[in-house]
Amino acid sequence: MSTLACRALDVTIAGKQIVRGLNLMLEPGQRLAILGRNGVGKTTLLHTLAGLLPPDAGAVELDGLSYAALGPRGAALLRGLLPQHQGDAFTASVLETVLVGRHPHLARWDWESAADERLAHEALAAVGLAGLAARSIHTLSGGERQRVALATLLVQRPRLYLLDEPLAHLDLKHQIAALELFSRQAGAAQATLVMVLHDVNLAARYSDQVLLLHGEGEHELGASAAVLDADRLSRLYGYPLRVIEQDGQRWFVPELPA
């Protein structure tokens, strides 16, 4: 059974069509990158896949069940969403913030256990923040706060990760570390990844499938190696790109103005 399935999905926002007739099936361990220009609707589509926005037509299912059938708690046990922006209205420690990811696994009146705290510390170590558990969330840099958000998602332990610009605020080292970390989740834990990315080369390296959003409902979906080429990407971004091949790897670079 597919972890995530979309059937004849139509999504619009403010009269603008994001996708029309999207059919998508992702199995455990698969990684999908969503690419497109700014404002084309990548976040809106991701929120629809997360069950936060209703589609105009079609269906979204997790493990064969609709969000209505799963309910909020059942959905939270299956899918986790990393939003673009992190809101910290109240003071909390880094550890307390990460422990929020355990809430779907707790009964109504339960407190986090020692086992939950151990998972939170392990997640902080995995994103390179082992020494910051006691720090106030308001004292972190943008990159550190993003890694806390990734750790919070890790302790939730969903089967489907929906990541909206997971590399925002991260330097190159931590971008690669984050993609390696979640790719290991896809491999070892058989999780399914859906990622909104802006770096075409990282998308090519860390995805099995890609979804290109062209606007006006037009989209292209397929294996990364087949769909990612210079012509398609040039049309996607409205700017000419060329491909460089070396040692069996492909790299897409923008053409410089004459």
pLDDT at 201: 97
Q: List CB contacts of 161: < 8 A, sequence separation 6 or more.
A: 79, 80, 82, 153, 182, 185, 191, 192, 193, 194, 195
Is residue 253 a contact partner of residue 239, using CB atoms and an 8 Å limit? no
Give the integer Cα–Cα distance in Å for 5 and 63.
Answer: 8
Tell me: the pLDDT tens digits for 158-190? 999 999 999 999 999 999 999 999 999 999 889
Instruction: Label residue 248 by pLDDT band (50, 70, 90).
Output: confident
Is residue 179 a contact partner of residue 202, using CB atoms and an 8 Å limit? yes
Structure tokens at 232: 């398609």
Tell me: the pLDDT tens digits for 69-100? 999 999 999 999 999 988 887 889 999 999 99
pLDDT at 88: 81
Give the integer Cα–Cα distance in Å for 73 and 222.
Answer: 32
Across the chain, what does the average pLDDT equal?
95
pLDDT at 246: 86
> Angle between the 142-156 and 114-126 helix axes, to the nearest 10 degrees?
130
The structural domains of the chain, with segments of one domain joined by +, span 4-254
Tell me: the pLDDT tens digits for 111-137? 889 999 999 999 999 999 999 999 999
- Pick one of 3.60.20.10, 3.40.50.300, 3.30.1360.30, 3.30.1490.100 as the CATH number of 4-254: 3.40.50.300
pTM given for the model = 0.95
